[in-house]
Amino acid sequence: MDARLEAIRGTVLARNPGEGEFHQAVTEVFESLGPVHDRHPEFLEGAVLERLCEPERQIIFRVPWTDDAGRVQINRGFRVEFNSALGPYKGGLRFHPSVYLGIVKFLGFEQIFKNALTGMPIGGGKGGSDFDPRGRSDAEVMRFCQSFMTELYRHIGEYTDVPAGDIGVGGREIGYLFGQYKRITNRYESGVLTGKGISWGGSLVRPEATGYGTVIFTEEMLKTRGKSFDGQRVVVSGTGNVAINAIAKAQSLGAIVVACSDSSGYIVDDAGIDVALLRQVKEVERGRLKDYETRRPAVTYVDGGSVWDVDATVALPCATQNELDGDAAARLVRNGLIAVGEGANMPSTRDAVAVFQDSGVLFGPGKAANAGGVATSALEMQQNASRDSWTFAHTEQRLTEIMVGIHDRCAATADEYGDPGNYVLGANIGGFVKVADAMLAQGLI
Ligand code: NDP
């Protein structure tokens, strides 16, 4: 790493102790930015990186609620409003027991660059709670969401900060959060949250957007080598919103998706995953992946273990951070992997990324490859602002154009900086320069 940036990185790490995921995200971005600072000394003079690594605002709050047995439960809520140079803070809420400040900051930091890459007017933020919706009744989830929003409402707004979903936060949770926001503020402010239901301000394609977008980005990478998804053997991790829609889109392009996972295990279905059955099990019944195996013959369910043990030509990690390590990456490469598109945020460890890049595997980092979700959230905001609702076909067309645009910008930036095909470099520099220019233009704030 460039020595000037290494010194700044050291200060950032020391100021934010114990936040390993945030350190990892910062390090990964800094490693790309040396050449930019050679060309733009004004970024160093204006202390852009130091400012960028310090969130504009961080909110941590108590979330009290009662469970179905009448017991009082306490969770911790977070919203990190990281950077508003390009627009209102924008980024999802994650409800998962692993959530703490370091996770929210890593996600918020990544979000700044991702949102810049979309070309839409949105800043970066992220939030969530250590609440675990799994195994909770609808009534418990509703009471939790109402309590969470009772604090969060004063910090958000369509021109201020616009949360959305992430792990553990889907349409059900967004509905309860929106209802409570409306009740407290007495405003039907559609643009305050995205991922809403279609009948009350949501956008068609938003549920599919992250998974579809990841596949579209990966298809663009494959095209640079004269290939496509057609006939590829694909492994996807996760079976949540991103994973299921990535599976559906990859199969629509002729791929065979042979395996997917949840946090308990994985299935191998050599005939190709039955997406309708998977949606029934995971989205309608909120069941476990094991339930899929019991309804489909010739499927193997592996309890525990790693889905990355299954051979693939294309890997789409769509579950969570650091789920694919260097050993798994090396095994995948040995077994014929040609491309990786990150549907999740930072799912590959730094070792894994190095293995992919050193082996010439096409590697699309999450901040570029999974930007279709937030881009479609921005399309939802556009529809809300104009009191309009677009067709599925039109919205999907916009998503496709945006993803192709992100791919091409990353590729062109990598070329410009002398490292063709390095999408990590292209995404980091492309996102950073846009935000840095805006920060300098807006003065020392
Ligand atoms: P969901 O909650 O819908 O699904 C998450 C999936 O990942 C589930 O299958 C879950 O398994 C699995 N998972 C979660 N945590 C772990 C863990 N610690 N270990 C193993 N498996 C785990 O979330 P999303 O699909 O929305 O999000 C998935 C990823 O995509 C995240 O990294 C998120 O930040 C990223 N992302 C999401 C966007 C969106 O629009 N939703 C936008 C951009 C990125 P189980 O069911 O067993 O819990």
| Boundary (domain end) residue, out of 369, 404, 422 | 369
Pocket test for ligand 1, best of 105, 118, 242, 245 (most atoms within 8 A of CB): 242
Residue numbers in the chain where pLDDT is lower than 70: none
Q: Is 2 a domain residue?
A: no
Whole-number pLDDT of residue 85: 98
Q: Please tell me whether residues 362 and 215 are part of one structural domain.
A: yes
Q: Please tell me whether residues 65 and 143 are part of one structural domain.
A: yes
Q: Is 47 a domain residue?
A: no
Cβ-proximal residues to 63 (8 Å cutoff; 6+ apart), any chain: 74, 75, 76, 77, 129, 131, 144, 147, 148, 151
The number of folded domains in the chain is 2
426: tokens are 């292209």
Atom 42 in ligand 1: residue holding the nearest Cα: 373
CB of 127 closer than 6 A to ligand 1? Answer: no
Q: Please tell me whether residues 162 and 98 are part of one structural domain.
A: yes
Single-letter amino acid code for the residue at 348: S
Q: What's the CA gap between 351 and 101, in Å, rounded?
A: 24
The CATH number that applies at residue 353 is 3.40.50.720
CB of 262 closer than 6 A to ligand 1? Answer: yes
Domain that holds residue 93: 55-188
Q: Is 337 a domain residue?
A: yes
Q: Is 14 a domain residue?
A: no
Q: Please tell me whether residues 288 and 165 are part of one structural domain.
A: no
Q: Is 293 a domain residue?
A: yes
Q: Could you tell me the distance, in angstroms and rounded to a whole number, from the CA of residue 170 to the centre of ligand 1? A: 11
Q: Is 34 a domain residue?
A: no
| Boundary (domain end) residue, out of 130, 157, 188 | 188
Q: Please tell me whether residues 218 and 353 are part of one structural domain.
A: yes
Whole-number pLDDT of residue 1: 85
CB of 194 closer than 6 A to ligand 1? Answer: no
Q: How many CB atoms lie within 10 A of CB 14?
A: 8
CB of 242 closer than 6 A to ligand 1? Answer: yes
206: tokens are 């938003």
| Boundary (domain end) residue, out of 350, 369, 388 | 369
Tell me which of 126, 249, 282, 434 is the catalytic residue.
Answer: 126
Q: Please tell me whether residues 129 and 260 are part of one structural domain.
A: no
Whole-number pLDDT of residue 269: 96
Q: Please tell me whether residues 143 and 77 are part of one structural domain.
A: yes
CB of 236 closer than 6 A to ligand 1? Answer: no
Q: Could you tell me the distance, in angstroms and rounded to a whole number, from the CA of residue 324 to the centre of ligand 1? A: 14
Query: How do beta strands 339-341 and 233-237 pair?
Result: unpaired
Q: Please tell me whether residues 76 and 162 are part of one structural domain.
A: yes
* For the CA of 343, the nearest atom of ligand 1: 30
Pocket test for ligand 1, best of 113, 241, 288, 306 (most atoms within 8 A of CB): 241
Q: Could you tell me the distance, in angstroms and rounded to a whole number, from the CA of residue 319 to the centre of ligand 1? A: 4
Atom 39 in ligand 1: residue holding the nearest Cα: 166
**What's the pTM?**
0.96
CB of 318 closer than 6 A to ligand 1? Answer: yes
* For the CA of 206, the nearest atom of ligand 1: 40
Residue 196 annotated as catalytic: no
Q: Please tell me whether residues 293 and 356 are part of one structural domain.
A: yes
Q: Is 172 a domain residue?
A: yes
Please give the distance of CA 206 from its chain centroid, rounded to a whole number: 13
Q: Please tell me whether residues 213 and 180 are part of one structural domain.
A: no
Q: Please tell me whether residues 99 and 162 are part of one structural domain.
A: yes
Q: Please tell me whether residues 311 and 179 are part of one structural domain.
A: no
CB of 166 closer than 6 A to ligand 1? Answer: yes
**C-alpha distances in Å from residue 349, one per residue of 186, 187, 272, 273, 396:** 45, 43, 28, 27, 31
Residue 313 backbone dihedrals phi, psi, to 5 degrees: -95, -25
Q: Is 122 a domain residue?
A: yes
The CATH number that applies at residue 102 is 3.40.50.10860
